[in-house]
Amino acid sequence: MNGLSSNAILAKSRAMYGKRLTAQHYNDLLNCKSVSEVAGYLKNRTVYAPIFEGVNVTAIHRGQLELLLKKYAYRQFETLCKYELAIGQGFYKYFILRNDIDMILTCVRLLYSGNPENYLLYMPVFFDEHTKLNQSKLAKVRSIQDLFKALDGTEYKAVIAPFVEHFDATMGKLDIEAALTRYKFETLKKITEKDFKGKKAKDIIEVFAIQNDIRVIVNIYRFKKMIGGGKESLRQFILPEVSRIPAKHWNRIIEAADEKEVLASLKNTVYGKALKANDLDYFEDVAQRYLYRWFLKTLRFSTNPTVVMFCYVYLLENEIRNITHIIEGIRYGVPAADIKEMLIGAYDSSVSR
């Protein structure tokens, strides 16, 4: 990538982040009394306005609003896809890959919940010209066998093949999620090493490693806290080749007897100091706040355009999670002060502009 292209991607990603919600926006949203009021505020006062075109916000319900927010994210990803394509870069494949895997996992989760017919509600059309997935077939999936057939002609069919014959709703879901996640990060590593060398490649792979490491650590913590076991199921989520934690330390974490031992095992890893939790009930919150701080700092100081682009993607998704917390909190009558505690990064001094 030449210097002009690098500057263009850096500027585009940071400019898109510059349109984020402010602390005042969050205060106003927390003062809303209904889901429709939240929708009206987003439509009239924020960058989310375009997704409400033709939508009657006075009659909107929570599920519709959350899908519109997802639509906004996809539109931003699509913008970055086109921007990358325009300068001849290969990382647009990242967005296609993650979208494909999200859609397949949506099918699996709907099968698990007994509502596979609801896929139509989640079906994005924004990537249809790039993906090999047949959305019409996915919408008709009513069993794991249907899903297997719907993936004909894609690389994902071979990924889930080992789990189809003996699919169990709970462990089968985890097995498929682990296999697809592994495939995603392995593919991203190959793309990175093909297009970049040296420190540039290392910095990009670090972005993937941090996200997956924290996700796996949180999953292990949950398992140990809730059911205490699942060593082999958890082990398949670990990707030593895309990780900042050595294999021997992962083994100690997996072998931990309970959630307290999980945290103790983290002390000697690169995440030890950052993931200290005085209250075990808030460990997941500590982990997510660490990710937020890391991505925000990296977006501001990295000179690697691809890294900055991925940081923007994470921070946008964090913002949408915050809005979703507000929507759900209002829907269920949670006090504004309690909802505020769940928001990550909304009131950092660096957020106001």
Q: Would you list the DSSP string of 53-104?
A: TT--GGG--HHHHHHHHHHHHHHHHHHHHHHHHHTT-STHHHHHHHHHHHHH
Asked whether residue 183 carries a pLDDT value surpassing 90, the answer given is yes
Positive or negative, the CA dihedral 259, 264, 267, 270 is negative
Q: Which residues contact 38 (CB under 8 A, 6 or more apart)?
A: 29, 32, 65, 323, 326, 327, 330
Average confidence score pLDDT of the chain: 87
Please give the pLDDT value at position 102.
87
The full length of the chain comes to: 353
Asked whether residue 173 carries a pLDDT value surpassing 90, the answer given is no
The residue ranking higher by pLDDT, 31 or 2, is 31
The residue ranking higher by pLDDT, 142 or 2, is 142
Please give the pLDDT value at position 80.
81
Q: What are 78-83's contacts with CB under 8 Å, separation 24+?
A: 78/126, 78/127, 79/16, 80/12, 80/13, 80/16, 80/309, 80/312, 80/313, 81/127, 81/130, 83/8, 83/9, 83/12
Token pair of 268 as six digits:
């000697």
Please give the pLDDT value at position 351.
47
Asked whether residue 269 carries a pLDDT value surpassing 70, the answer given is yes
The residue ranking higher by pLDDT, 227 or 103, is 103
Please give the pLDDT value at position 170.
58
Please give the pLDDT value at position 164.
85
What are the φ and ψ backbone dihedral angles of 47, each rounded to 5 degrees? -70, -10
Tell me the domain boundaries of the chain: 1-88+315-353
Structure pTM? 0.89
335, burial (CB in 10 Å: exposed 0-12, middle 13-18, buried 19+): exposed
Largest CA distance in the chain: 55
Please give the pLDDT value at position 349.
59
The residue ranking higher by pLDDT, 114 or 157, is 157
Token pair of 107 as six digits:
């099918």
Q: Which residues contact 300 (CB under 8 A, 6 or more apart)?
A: none
Residue 44's region, left for phi above 0, alpha for psi from -120 to 50, else beta, is: alpha
The class (CATH top level) of 1-88+315-353 is mainly alpha
Asked whether residue 352 carries a pLDDT value surpassing 60, the answer given is no
| Ordered DSSP codes for 270-328 | TTTTTT--SSGGGHHHHHHHHHHHHHHHHHHH---HHHHHHHHHHHHHHHHHHHHHHHH
Please give the pLDDT value at position 131.
81
